[in-house]
Amino acid sequence: MAHWFHRNPLKATAPVPFNLYGVASSTAASKICGELRITRARLLELLTDTTCNAETMKTASDSYFSLLQGFIVALDGGTQDNKLRFIQNFKWTDTLQGNVASAQQDAVFELLSMAFNVALWYTKFASRLAGKEDITEDEAKEVHRSMKVAAGIFKHLKESHIPKLLTPVEKGRDLEARVIDAYIVQCQAEGQEVTIARAIELKHNPGLIAALANETANFYENVDHTLSSLDPVYIAKWRKYIHLKICFYRAYAYCYHGQTLLTSDKCGEAIRSLQEAEKFYNKAEALCKEYGETKGPGTTAKPSGHLFFRKLGTLVKNTLAKCERENGFIYFQKVPKEAPQLELKANYGLVEPVPFELPALNPQWTPETLAGFDLTKRPKEDEKNPQAKPKKEEEVKPMKEPDIKSQKDSGCQIS
């Protein structure tokens, strides 16, 4: 089911040749610089390659990060900064703020930015798999795992590397706490969508499905709360997507909760629960249209065109009609004015981030190799003219991401 997920654009970056002429004064040092240039370019290339799979991406990202860490970690195991950490300048755009780049002369900034892009790739890979015409069970598991891997990368960056930046992160940028928190929780929510689809397909207990759907809607509400304090110019479209997913999964929760109530002979309460499901489903339909008309960065999801979306509308309508018939013939119960409180907690199927670890330092990095970088030969910066006008920030060309064309909807329930 193509275009089920909203995806923000990849971060773009200026080329980094790692041409440390004079500084890299040994053959080993020059060799590492060349390999950094090649592995970085290769990784950037794979980020937009539709044939790339998770195994290839991990191999490529590990290759680059194992080399880059030689600019960051202390080879003697100490706590002092590596002497090479601040030798190279890196420029990156943000997923929400167009093509104006932020620049930092800090290898930690490069590690964060590239790893952030790798996490985004896993979300886009999951979306691409979910958009296939005939998704297999193994592919559904891969979608599920990819979302957990992405969440794990974002979480690791937030906890282990963002605090190391010397330059504070600007508000609304990708590495700011609110933005990265939104990405983490959205990945968890989208992973749970796969769990729900699987539970429905296998006809699991309606109470479990209702609880999972309720937890997923809660996750999306957490994302919305996190995004609500950011500049609406940049996140209006993203938030509309979040709003429609809240309503969609709240409708699912009330629908399946109504089924549970009916089996417990609480037909009046079941009717009221189904009425609430109908209300949320109709609201989700309206939000789909609003979302499509809202301008902002990212690919546009089209959930209302999917069988997975439409099936819920039919299910709500048919289940409500059944409850009303049963009440008219058997139960004769009063329908409450207030909708039932969804105090539902799922004990199974909740998505947790997969713990992420950076690869080990590339074995080419030895004390002798590090000694081959002579910082005394580094060109000194020209004296700055205090009256000179600051340079205008240059634009970095956006990543050329492939168009994901809609495929025929097979009716597969894996979202």
CA distance 369 to 10: 34
Which residue do the tokens 């420029």 mark? 91
Better-scored residue on pLDDT, 150 or 201: 150
Show Cβ contacts of residue 403 under 8 Å, excluding neighbours closer than 6 positions. none
CA distance 379 to 364: 26
CA distance 156 to 332: 55
> Tell me, what's the pLDDT at 382?
39
Alpha helices (H) in 18-99, listed in sequence order: 27-47, 54-68
> Tell me, what's the pLDDT at 404?
56
| pLDDT tens digits, 344-357 | 676 666 789 999 99
Whether the per-residue pLDDT at 188 is higher than 70: the answer is yes
Show Cβ contacts of residue 15 under 8 Å, excluding neighbours closer than 6 positions. none
Which one, of 122, 120, 92, 123, lies nearest residue 106 by Cα? 92
Question: Residue 72's pLDDT band (boundaries 50, 70, 90)?
Answer: very high
pTM of the model: 0.90
| pLDDT tens digits, 359-399 | 999 999 999 999 999 998 865 443 444 444 445 555 788 88
> Tell me, what's the pLDDT at 389?
47
Highest mean pLDDT, choosing among 15-24, 72-81, 132-141: 15-24
**Across the strands, what pairs with 92?**
13, 102
DSSP code of residue 235: H
Whether the per-residue pLDDT at 414 is higher than 60: the answer is no
| pLDDT tens digits, 293-347 | 998 887 777 887 777 778 888 999 999 999 889 877 887 878 888 888 887 676 6
